[in-house]
Chains A and B, each alone.
Chain A
Amino acid sequence: EAQVTQNPRYLITVTGKKLTVTCSQNMNHEYMSWYRQDPGLGLRQIYYSMNVEVTDKGDVPEGYKVSRKEKRNFPLILESPSPNQTSLYFCASSLRQGQGAKAKNIQYFGAGTRLSVL
């Protein structure tokens, strides 16, 4: 089954304790992205990756790191979490834009990770 898998689904941690949220996709997608969702703000992009070893900042990258060593995996790292990073996080993947005529490049989302930083 084609899917984007995030782990963990729920996480409660304390300020300053490093954590990693994993994301894996089995669709051979080049493009992967992390978003955070906060009430009244919709989803905002944190980081994205166009391919292996190619990553770039989104709109709200402060306090986050990512890596793309393999095509299928795109972990999100919080080196020193703070309470303002309490949020619902989504990983998403799609084909890279421009592949195929009128390619839709639909982004498929993981189930989400609900993070609370105390």
Chain B
Amino acid sequence: AQKITQTQPGMFVQEKEAVTLDCTYDTSDPSYGLFWYKQPSSGEMIFLIYQGSYDQQNATEGRYSLNFQKARKSANLVISASQLGDSAMYFCAMRERSVDGGATNKLIFGTGTLLAVQP
């Protein structure tokens, strides 16, 4: 079964430093998508970055980059130059395909990592 694992329940980082949030996944499907979402204390889910399984390059979006290591089945999120506003829960998710190979768009989520940025 497809699964997302986030092993860091919580992390601290100093303002202006870089931080890496870990995510490993398990799937036998050769075609999949990986997503990172941010959930601040206000509760909404904010899309950050996407990596397709066939993408040759690691995805980047501003201060966010995804360290995609396909052989290791890992998709770690790197936040450069942390800001106080980056304090939030971060979820890694994978888009699943149905057993018949069709599209479901269903997202499988990890349990999240709570990031605290310290001044």
A-B pair count, CB < 8 Å, reads: 70
Cβ-defined contact, A45 with B95, below 8 A? no
Q: Indicate whether A42 sits within 8 Å of B105 (C-beta atoms), given known contacts A90-B45, A102-B52, A107-B47.
A: no
* Contact string against A for B residues 6-42, beta-carbon threshold 8 Å, 1 for contact and 0 otherwise: 0000000000000000000000000001010100001
Docked complex Cα distance between A50 and B47 (Å) = 21
Residue of chain B at shortest CB distance from A29? B105
Residue of chain B at shortest CB distance from A97? B103
B85 contacts chain A at the CB level, 8 A cutoff: no
Residues in chain A near residue B50, CB distance under 8 A: 104, 106
Residue of chain B at shortest CB distance from A113? B43
A108 contacts chain B at the CB level, 8 A cutoff: yes
Cβ-defined contact, A43 with B109, below 8 A? yes
The residue from A41, A96, A104, A112 contacting B45, defined by CB atoms under 8 A apart: A112
B55 → A minimal CB distance (Å): 8
Residues in chain B near residue A41, CB distance under 8 A: 111
Residue of chain B at shortest CB distance from A95? B105
Residue of chain B at shortest CB distance from A58? B106
Q: Indicate whether A104 sits within 8 Å of B44 (C-beta atoms), given known contacts A43-B109, A48-B105, A96-B105.
A: no
* Contact string against B for A residues 8-34, beta-carbon threshold 8 Å, 1 for contact and 0 otherwise: 000000000000000000000001010
Residue of chain A at shortest CB distance from B59? A104
**Which of B33, B44, B54, B107 has the most CB atoms of chain A within a 10 A radius of its CB?**
B107
* Contact string against B for A residues 69-97, beta-carbon threshold 8 Å, 1 for contact and 0 otherwise: 00000000000000000001010101011
Which residues in A have some Cβ–Cβ distance to B below 8 Å? 31, 33, 35, 40-45, 48, 50, 58, 88, 90, 92, 94, 96-98, 102, 104-112, 114
A-B contact pairs, 13 of them (CB 8 A): A31-B105, A35-B107, A41-B111, A43-B45, A43-B91, A44-B109, A48-B104, A88-B43, A92-B45, A98-B103, A105-B33, A109-B46, A112-B45
